[in-house]
Amino acid sequence: MPASHLLLALAIVAVWGTNFVVIKVSLEAFPPFLFAALRYLFALLPIVFLMPRPKVSWGNLCIYGLATGVGQFGIMYFAIDGRISPGLASLVIQTQVFFTIGFAMFFARESLRLYQAVAVGVAMIGLLIIALHTDANTTFLGLALVVFSGFSWGVANTVSRRAGTINMLAYVVWASAFSIPPLVLMAYLFEGGWPSMGSSIASASVGAWAGVLWQSWANTLFGYAAWGWLLGKHPAAQVAPLALLVPVFGLGSSALLLGEPLQGWK
């Protein structure tokens, strides 16, 4: 992988890692499913009117939009909202590496080198250690929800690779249209209906809206478009493990800005 591509990957994981602090702060203003719906609404509008639909099937766009919007972020926001600490979530979400590599081996017949297999094994031991340290701040439910988010991210990675060589920014924008309706429905059913949703939107501070825009533009449009582009250029086993740098930024920024403790087991 060229150095320029590695630097791009580093920029992406830096944005993604520090983003967990933004998520935790923004959840003080917005309930999780509404927050996720707003994220994808601003990822979709108004850019969708400026970019033609990529040459990929509606089914592919739908699966990607549901996997990222609902399965990955909707569920992860719900978990971070009192069920798992943001720094630890940034670590557990990297189960996507296992799923992405596994899907690539199954669907694309990609091979796994010995050192990669050893690294995956070490990471799985780490997840077991996390599972043995659940408490009031990190519940087993929160852990399970974020693992499911990692599975959904793995699905999204696989689907985006099958889309082929396309404009990844347009792909992420158009796929966002499929994220919004189920997230709005989930917010309506589980977060108090229209009155509660309207009250959250009306009372949100400028900082909370800045968090939404950071989610939409930095994480969704830049992060996932660039990540999908890298996955289209290189084997999944080369790209996906780079996301394991996300916890370095996630745990570090959570400890520095939110006071999340860094115990020895972490």
Which pLDDT value is given to residue 60? 94
Q: Which residues contact 237 (CB under 8 A, 6 or more apart)?
A: 101, 104, 110, 112, 113, 116
Q: What is the pLDDT of residues 31-76, one digit of tens each?
A: 999 999 999 999 999 889 988 999 999 999 999 999 999 999 999 9
Give how far the C-alpha of residue 165 lies from the chain's centroid of Cα atoms, to the nearest Å. Answer: 22
Cα end-to-end span (Å), the chain: 30
Q: What is the pLDDT of residues 109-145, one digit of tens each?
A: 777 778 777 877 887 787 778 777 766 677 889 989 9
pTM to 2 decimals? 0.83
Whether 159 has a pLDDT exceeding 80, the answer reads yes
Identify whether the C-beta of residue 165 lies closer than 8 Å to the C-beta of residue 11: no
